Amino acid sequence: MSRRILGIETEYGLIFSPRGKVYLPTEKIFGYIFDGLIPNSWPSNAFLANGARFYQDTGCHPEYATPECDCVEDVVAHDKAGERILESYLPLAERRLKEEGLYGDIYIYKNNTDSMGNTYGCHENYLLRRDLDFWKVTEQLIPLLVTRQIYTGAGKVLKVGGKTQYFISQRAQHIHERSSSSTTSSRSIINTRDEPHADAEKYRRLHVIIGDSNMSEVATYLKMGTTALVLSMIEEGVSFKGLTLEDPVRAIRDVSRDTTLKRPVPLSDGKKWTAVEIQNTYLEKAKAFVDRSHNAKEQAIVARWEAVLNQLEEDPAMLSREIDWIAKRECLVGYMDRHRCGWDDPHVAMIDLQYHDVNQKRGLYALLCREGMVEKIVTEEAIQTAIMTPPQTTRAKVRGDFIQFAKSKNRPYTVDWTYLKLNGYWEETILCMDPFASVNARLDELITAATRSSASSS
């Protein structure tokens, strides 16, 4: 796979459950969490020492954007680091509440829907070459994105047409267009906003907003890995003809509704293929591609992809250790069997939500992890490292080094994806337009000069 900048933006659900009569607005709760994460910082938008961005998104959702990564394993580790960071500030926020005489529990969920039917997103970012025909790229990519939910879906208990049933994807019911510049009023498979956060003459950004938020590391790995690999294949001239869907938006819903994975969706040429068959077509071309490239990371992605697709064809239930919608369904079906109830039982909806609780003491996915019932991609040590340390091979390292430097000198600073600025006296702005560059000569000069100054003064 050609080297590519990757990242995930995750919007989290936030709920305050009061123990008493006083109910606080979500904005107030968010303020407690944010103040614990970045004390005395407002507005609620800040970059962290690990290169990531934490901020308040539309609808008062906490949003965590991973730093720039150039390999899928780093994306997985930094995505998990976001969960841990938010979880770590829950006790502090609840303690602040008690100090003001307010009592209750704060819940943060890594999912995509609330009880009112609203949705919030998990957005993927892939850096693309500017010289590519963006529309041709997206047309070849859309069938992959529509059908990959069979291994990336987070699962959802949902009532549609008066009937409560289990769906593969949480986002599927909220997608209305193939492409759009909006992420709220007209949610699409691919967002067309052209914000590369890099040299715009060389790059543009592919912003995918169809995906579910995943607890499973395997699902995140496959979601990012297969998409990045197919993008590399398209860049190298590989064509995916004959996969165009007749109606991609309808197909998203049809695939999500079919947990048997057996019902075909219509293609534009009149044929009908199942989601697994469409995925296998991409897979076969990917196998030929990586056979030529001899790239170990590409080969690992393809091997995992093939194993999962084979198991989905044979018996999806066997993937309960790897795929979110299957793992969650097994838990829900087990509960319903034990209590002799159906999908309409309110406890089933509660368990559905509990699967996504980032609090490791009460989250259902966390419980499965403790019981050794899920498969991991990265080690806990890698996740803990990612909480404080940016990827060492991208621009995120420069950003992290700058933040550490500014804090060590007690200097106010401003940071964005493409620049670093020391504020106040001796003001300095450093542009960082190359997301692949893990060093910056001007920052190195500043750090060296500050080190010499400290040494001479001592």
Candidate list 57, 74, 324, 401, residue with the active-site label? 57
What is the residue-wise DSSP string for 260-294? Answer: TS---EEBTTS-EE-HHHHHHHHHHHHHHHHHHH-
DSSP state, residue 68: P
Is 212 among the catalytic positions?
Answer: no
* Cis-peptide into 91, omega within 30 deg: no
| Backbone dihedral region for residue 101 (phi beyond 0: left; psi -120 to 50: alpha; all else: beta) | left
The residue with tokens 């500030």 is 89
For 69, the 3-state DSSP assignment is: strand
End-to-end CA distance of the chain: 50
3-state SS of the chain: helix, strand, coil percent to 5?
45, 20, 35
Q: Which residues are 413's β-sheet partners?
A: 422
The letter for the amino acid at 178 is R
Q: Classify strands 122-129 and 104-109 as parallel, antiparallel or unpaired.
A: unpaired
Residues in the chain: 458
Q: Tokens 């430097």: give the residue.
A: 405
| Dihedral sign (CA 178, 75, 278, 213) | negative
Give the burial class of 202: count Cβ atoms within 10 A of its Cβ; 0-12 exposed, 13-18 middle, 19 or more buried: middle
Amino acid (1-letter code) at residue 303: A
Tokens encoding 198: 């890099």
Task: Note whether 233 and 285 are within 8 A (CB).
Answer: yes
Which residues are marked as active site? 57
